[in-house]
Structure formats: structure tokens, C-alpha cells
Amino acid sequence: MREEYQSTTFNFRRLIKIGAIAIITLVVVWLQPITYENIDAGNVGIKINLYGTDRGVDNITIVTGRVWYNTWTTKIVEFPTYTQSVDYDPFVITTRDAAEFNVDPKLNYHVNPAMVPQIYRQYRKPLSEIEQQFMRNTIYDAYRIVANSFSSDSVMSNREQFENRIQTMLAKNLAKDGFVYDQLTSAITPPASLRQMIDEKNASIQARLKAENEAKQARAEAEVMKAKADGEATAMLVRARAEAEANRLRQQSLTPLLVQMRLIEKWNGQLPTYGTIPALFKDLSKEK
């Protein structure tokens, strides 16, 4: 009986020991700091030591692919390097003559992989926060500085030059901090009063162009009519000259001998009287 009791006690203690070991093993596995991170294509990761003599942002390593690390002593921060598109809220800028323009910008950019450690050292924030703070301020400053060198009229009449200067300044300022400028889309809206002036100016230009075109068309039609009239007058003159020349030739052809022959042809055998002679000459003149 005593032996059975001792055997039962031993088995019970053994089960408790096994259970304790299992629980401790599970806790250790659950709490162990070793894990991994997959750095996908189009992204760059940096591994930061949190403890030791090399701790902090001064010891940052760029990593890619699958990275094993100790979560107690190491931190992995991932930055996308593919093109990002950010649509910012509109803001107001002021030109040299104090006109206010609304700007609704949209920026496309990507991160320079080689400068990811510098970006983290400088900002210590996720990329989404950097976009809405540093990058937004950089865009606003570029618009503000360039707008101060333009008048309200010149902004609209030199829109391409205005935006080129903004893009040049923006690309330069972003590149210093590791961000590569790709494209900036600007929706610039002028004040209502300036918009009305522009519309009236455009309408005036259109009216002037229309009047000039109508005047050119009228001159062209007048030239056509003049050319036609000149042609008709020339033709009439040619015909008149031809007819006059024909009459002259006919007059020259009426020699005295020819007149006598024609009178003989017209004679009816009777002696002419005073009244019949003019009639004979009249008949001769009809033959010319």
C-alpha cells in the first residue's frame, strides 16, 4: 500500500515537473526576442541598435530581404523607395501686388535609398508624417518665395515660367534631405476680380481678332471685285479698240475707184438724180 502511494506521488510530481517545463518553454518561446522582418522590393529597411556602445542612430545599417534581429536590442524601420503621390490641402499665396491665389498642389516623389539613414536621423518620424510636415512646408515656401517676385498679371500670362521656377526650387530643396522630385501638379485659382479682368481681356482680344479677320476678308473681296472690274474694263477697251481699228481699215479701203465700182454695181440703168446719190453712198457705208 505504501509502495503504491509512493509511486502515485512520484508520477504526480513528474507530471507537475513536465507541465512546468512545458509552460516555461512556451513562455520563453512566446517572449523570446528573436524574430524576422521581410523588406519587400521597392522598400529599404534600416537596422538600429538600441543598446550597447554603438546604440542609437549613429549605428544604422541598410538592410533588404529577410532580416533576423533581436527585438529587445534592435529596431527595424522600413521606408518605401517607389514613387509616392501626395495630394495636399489647398493653401493661399500672395503675389508682389498683394493678390491672393489659391493653390491645390499634388506632388509625386520617391526616396533616395542611399539617404534613408540620414532621413531617419534627421526626422525620426514615419514617412507619412514627414510628407505632411517638412515636405508640405517646403512646397509652401517654394510657392510663397516665387509668388513674391511675380505680379498677379504676370502669374497668369507667364504661367509656365512661374511653375518652372517653383519646380526648380522644390527639386533642389527636397534633394538635400533625400527626397527625389518627380512631378508637381498645380491647380492655381486667381482672385475673382482678376478672373473677371482676364475674361474681359480675352473677350476684347477675340473681338479684335474677329474684326481684323472681317476687315481682311472685306479687303480680299474688294480686291477680287476690283480685279474682276479691271478685267471687264480691259476686255471692253480691247473690243472698242478692235472695232475702231476695223472701222479705220474699212475707211482706208474705200478708195475712189472702189466707190465708183460700187456705184456702178448699184446703178439701175437710170441717170442718178440729186435725191438718189445720197442713198447710194448710204448703201456703201452699210457694207463697211
User: pLDDT tens across 177-221, in order?
Assistant: 999 999 998 888 887 766 666 666 666 777 777 777 877 887 777
- If phi > 0 it is left, if psi is from -120 to 50 it is alpha, else beta; for residue 12 that is alpha
Q: CATH 3.30.479.30: does it fit domain 84-190?
A: yes
For 49-90, the pLDDT digits (tens) are: 777 655 555 556 677 788 887 777 788 888 898 999 999 999
Q: What is the pLDDT of residue 90?
A: 94
pTM of the predicted protein model? 0.57
**For the chain, what are the domain ranges?**
1-32, 84-190, 254-286
At residue 255 the predicted structure's pLDDT band, cuts being 50, 70 and 90, is low
Mean pLDDT in the chain?
Answer: 77
220 beta partners: none
Residue 251: its pLDDT value, please? 63
Do 180 and 110 contact (CB within 8 A), yes or no? yes
